[in-house]
Amino acid sequence: MVNMKDEYTPDVALHNASQGELPDILALLDECELPKEGLTAHLSTTIVARNGSEIVGCSALELYEEFALLRSVAVKPLYRSRGLGLRLTKAALDLASEYKVSNVYLLTSSADMFFSKLGFESISRADVPENVRRSVEFTTLCPDTATVMTKALVGAHEKPKAERS
């Protein structure tokens, strides 16, 4: 479970999304001009940033066996440039590690520089596993011109040191 604060956004707490928060999450995605279709099916792997009663950010994962698609990383304009997008992305990557995901993929039309700072690398669509390419993000929501990126999660399938021979 996610529950963290930091010095840049001390009044903003991250936690796993609940069904009751879905309307506010979808409204945030609309405000940030990000696709909301398909998110409902992945609410259990959605993280929200909350300042009091207001949802000010979110991120989500779509799980596809040992792979994940990072989507819906959104921050209200008033809360941008404070590290909140970074916190939300790191929280999603931590969640992916908990699910033993080996690689996380994403599509972006405007944030490739942001994600490259977090270790994501640009790749071609053909390099994305087919089960991820069948997602609604790849098939209908994001344009063919969107940048495709991936990040390998170190140690996602490694045995703990005590179990290695």
| pLDDT greater than 70 at residue 133 | yes
Average pLDDT, the chain: 88
pLDDT for the residue 11 = 85
Task: Specify the residue for token string 């993280």.
Answer: 47
Which residues are within 8 A (CB) of 59 and not within 5 positions of it... i.e. 6 or more apart?
46, 47, 70, 71, 72, 73, 74, 88, 89, 91, 92
pTM of the model: 0.86
Give pLDDT tens digits for 145-161: 889 999 999 765 444 44
CB atoms < 10 A from the CB of 39, how many?
Answer: 22
Q: Give the start-to-end residue ranges of the domains of the chain.
A: 3-154
pLDDT over 70 percentage in the chain = 87
Out of 3.30.70.2190, 3.90.1150.10, 3.40.630.30, 1.10.3080.10, which CATH number does the structure's domain 3-154 have?
A: 3.40.630.30
Pairing of strands 121-123, 147-152: antiparallel
